């Protein structure tokens, strides 16, 4: 017969809480940097929750950047930030290099690869 009290004690013995966490754990979402058939971020748009991290990886031998800075974009609107969020920039990411950023402010973030923006290498992070 099911004994709720005994079951709760069993869970506790294994380190589980009987109380369900009120919010999901933060996660990391991967974005790759492609050079063929064209320069682009894959996926070009990611939707995450506040507190999540996006990790960009460059698997190829052409350098890229992850530039969330309107002053460094050819078209400022391609690198737009929510109000009050300071610009940030990975600098050059070489082959096998990575860049990670944890997003804490909600809103829509647009970014560019500073080297290949003109070729359409732009991306979006939506933080909900």
Q: Which stretches of the chain bind Cu ion, using CB under 5 A? A: 39, 64, 113, 115-116, 121
CA distance 122 to 60: 17
In the complex, least distance from residue 121 CB atom to Cu ion, rounded to whole angstroms: 5
In the complex, least distance from residue 39 CB atom to Cu ion, rounded to whole angstroms: 5
CA distance 37 to 118: 15
Closest to Cu ion by CB, 88 or 115: 115
Instruction: Copy the structure tokens of residue 55.
Output: 């990790």
Closest to Cu ion by CB, 64 or 110: 64
CA distance 6 to 43: 47
Closest to Cu ion by CB, 8 or 45: 45
């Amino acid at each position: 017969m099911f004994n709720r009290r005994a079951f709760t004690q069993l869970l506790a013995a294994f380190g589980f809480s009987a109380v369900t966490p009120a919010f999901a754990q933060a996660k990391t979402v991967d974005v790759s940097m492609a050079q063929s058939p064209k320069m682009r971020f894959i996926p070009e748009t990611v939707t995450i929750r506040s507190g999540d991290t996006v990790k960009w990886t460059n698997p190829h031998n052409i350098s890229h950047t992850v530039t969330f800075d309107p002053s460094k974009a050819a078209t400022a609107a391609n690198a737009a930030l929510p109000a009050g969020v300071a610009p940030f920039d990975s600098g050059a990411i070489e082959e096998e290099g990575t860049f990670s950023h944890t997003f804490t402010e909600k809103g829509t973030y647009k970014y560019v690869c500073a080297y290949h923006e003109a070729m359409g290498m732009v991306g979006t992070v939506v933080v909900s």
